[in-house]
Structure 1
Amino acid sequence: MTEAPEAKPIDETPKFEWAIVEIFGHRRHAGRTIEEERFGAKMLRIDVPVKGNPEQFGWQTFYYGGASIFSFVLTDEQSVMTVNKPYEPPSRQYLEDRTASRKDFEYPDDNEYED
């Protein structure tokens, strides 16, 4: 008798790819992408990290048909998070508190400068 081949467990986790996608050349999304079947057609699903921090703000999901994709560039996770991070203005430089340093300053004796 022959034994039936051992069934391999099916991996149910989706295989996402990190990418930057341009739609019709007018919209650009950076996120994790996967091909899904929706409404009887294959579509691109792209999950965009909100404010570049998905742990805190979550993901925003977009679906696009294949004909609407203008460009598809594979990238890494760090690049995707950087692209989606909101603009932060350059920090301002502040002078340190001068009142604290005056207390520690030792004034010279008046007698040192007498002739």
Structure 2
Amino acid sequence: MFKGLYKVEFKTPRRKAIGILYAADGKLHGGNSAFAYVGSFKENGNTITAVVSSMRHTHDPNHPPVFGLDRVTIDCQGSAKGEFATFEGTAAEAPSLCFKAFLTRISD
């Protein structure tokens, strides 16, 4: 079951970033010092599909957006196994950039 507080490391061909993400009851919430993440997920067997909106809340030049945009909606698919989960997808606003995420559970 995909539930808990996770460290999320994600990247596109442009950049990498790290944040946190809480998953429970089909909802996703998280962020880092410059961006907030809000979305939803569904589990079907070993597959997890998710839609996550990322929006800048603080303009900090030390935290550039991984897609080059301050607001995106990411459609992704992945799976969770034990304390880890992986996802791949794209943002509707930058469909040519592949998004990859690796999540490590911090707490239930």
Do both share a fold (TM > 0.5)?
Answer: no
Q: Which has the larger radius of gyration?
A: 1
TM bin, normalised by shorter chain, reads under 0.3
| Bigger fraction of residues in helix | 1
Higher relative contact order (CA 8 A, sep 6+): 2
TM-score, scaled relative to structure 2: 0.27
